[in-house]
Chain A
Amino acid sequence: MSFAEYLRQNGSDVLEALKIHVQLSSLSILIAVLIAIPTGIILTRHDRAAKAVLAVAGIIQTIPGLVMLGMGLMLFGLGSKPAVIVLVAYAILPIIQNTYTGIKEIDILYIEAARGIGMSQSQILFKVEIPLGLPAIVAGIRLSVVYIISWATLAALIGAGGLGDLIWTGLSSYDTNMILAGAIPASILSIIAGLVIDLIHRAVTPKPMRIKGDA
């Protein structure tokens, strides 16, 4: 059976898996962003805590994905809930890291100027720090999105479904078409997500900063 024929027969299954995959990934990234950006910002105000948090997050990052999924399975059981928890744990670090460094690396003179002309703490954050740190923050999100879409294929192992289901089932039954039906959409998804975020990255970077990277 050719791959095209396989898709004709199982198209709806593949679409369903793709849908689950997208849901799983976007839910994870959404939660990760909501946790990581505020955390990153808070850490810029607490240098000592920042070191500790970034170190712990770094350690989490080094644990192999399968081990984490296994732990997720033990702690939270089967299904999409443990999968999302594990994916979020992975996605958080690059975003925290980039939010933290993105804001920390803003030249102190802008903060001083902002203070000197009478901006409050929150105005400095929203009018100066976040806009100037945004390109770095978006870059962190991009990294996480691409990671998550590929790691979400592993999540099928603990019953979360998605394109990983097709890949793992295909692997265990020597069904090349099935493997491809999982792997190709997963790759395309990851590439498209990357491109979309690149566009966002461009959009949030003020025109003259696009070329030079700084002011």
Chain B
Amino acid sequence: MVNLINILKKYSNNTVVNSINLEIQDGQFVVLIGTSGCGKTTTLKMINRLIEPTSGQIFVNGSNIEEMNPVELRRNIGYVIQQIGLFPNMTILDNVEVVPKLLKWPKEKSRKRALELMEMVDLKPEIYAGKYPSQLSGGQQQRIGVLRALAAEPSLILMDEPFGALDPITRDSLQDEVKKLHKTLNKTFVFVTHDMSEAVKMADVIVFMDKGNIVQVAPPEEILKNPANDFVRSFIGMHNVPENSEMTVMEIMKTNPVTVTKNKRTLECVSLMNSKGIDSLIVTDQNGIYEGVLTAEAIVKCGKAGDTVERLVDAGVGTVLYSDSAKDAFDTLLGTKSGYLVVVDNSNKVIGIVTRSGMIKSMARALWGGDGR
């Protein structure tokens, strides 16, 4: 259990943390959230005495940490930072083992523990143990960063925006892994972030901070349902707006559509459709300017072998500008028979198509995560 009692931190006249009280139960996943400068990181760093409070007391598992040797204290608290900070001169295995070694665990024990942990996050020791941090991707490095914090079996782990520097996909999978580790290991996590969706995903309890004060302490659902004040509400709102609301057609279209010119002959077009596995072609002039669409149906109905396709071109299929909003395109698409829209640039030149299946894929990614494209 972690208890913060009347914790005040001032830098000269600047109050960073303003007499906060906080109780963290064993096994809880607590997320400190707020804008930058709200005091969340300072609060975190006071728990392992990287920063000393100006006044107030902190108890970890019943002991006043002020009376403890800071080095000993930190060895018994896991610590993960955003910049990862694996030691570049040590192998992956040495990095994972570093804290058990500081605690003078028997060699066998710390080795066994390190290998066990690496298996747990699917970093095969036989491949990765002897590598150096710079040979790993950012996501793999931070996995090892998390393992380093867990290696000595601390009951409390502090994480300071650990996934802030990772790309969205990697971040997502690391969040899942840490969440899984939390469930299986039953340890207390204190996690700092400024990302509301991360907080909602990870937290048992969210501690919302603003200007050095704790504004609200509640489970995620409670914070979302009943934000304590306007600031919390606007913060949630800010972070709830889907990042993709401004998505343009450009981002959801398929590029390199199959195009033909209207002086092509029917047979040629049919074989082109067959080879590409499609049932329509976009017709353009010599310069790629949009003229219409040619469907297999039209060829079958009215085409004669050897004729050019000029007569069969349907100019009625809608086009959208690449810079139009994806939402408008979606509405237009729903209203068409063809099941797709032709995307043109400002000079009416064909640059892509938007299909229903492509649109669905983009929406799924926007909703449930993915690379955003």
Where the two chains meet, the residues of A that have a C-beta atom closer than 8 Å to any C-beta of B are 109-110, 112-120, 123, 127-128, 131-132, 206-209, 212, 214-215
Contacts and interface: CB of A to CB of B under 8 A. Distances in A.
29 contacts: A109-B81, A109-B85, A110-B87, A113-B79, A113-B86, A114-B85, A115-B74, A116-B48, A116-B50, A117-B98, A117-B102, A118-B76, A118-B99, A119-B71, A119-B102, A127-B87, A128-B87, A128-B89, A131-B89, A206-B88, A206-B89, A208-B88, A209-B88, A209-B132, A209-B134, A212-B134, A215-B88, A215-B133, A215-B134
B71 A120 contact: yes
B197 interface: no
A9 to B, nearest CB: 53
Nearest to A109: B83
A118 B81 CA distance: 14
Given A117-B98, A117-B102, A208-B133, 5 more contacts: A118-B77, A127-B87, A208-B132, A209-B89, A215-B88
B75 interface: yes
A123 B134 CA distance: 22
B169 to A, nearest CB: 24
Interface string B290-329: 0000000000000000000000000000000000000000
Given A117-B99, A117-B149, A207-B132, A132 B88 contact: yes
Given A212-B134, A215-B134, A116 B87 contact: no
Nearest to B131: A208
Interface in B58-80: 71-77, 79
Contact of B148 (A115, A117, A120): A117
Contacts of B149: 117
Contacts of B76: 118
A115 B74 CA distance: 8
Contact of A110 (B71, B77, B79, B85): B85
Nearest to B80: A116
A114 B99 CA distance: 10
A132 B89 contact: yes
B50 A115 contact: yes
Contacts of A132: 87-89
Nearest to A123: B102
Nearest to B76: A118
A118 B50 contact: no
Interface string B126-163: 00000011110000000000001100000000000000
A208 B134 contact: yes
Contacts of A212: 134
Q: Which of B75, B77, B83, B85 has the most CB of A within 10 A?
A: B85
A209 B58 CA distance: 41
A211 B21 CA distance: 50
A109 B81 CA distance: 9
B75 A117 contact: yes
A115 B45 CA distance: 11
Given A112-B85, A128-B87, A215-B88, A118 B102 contact: yes
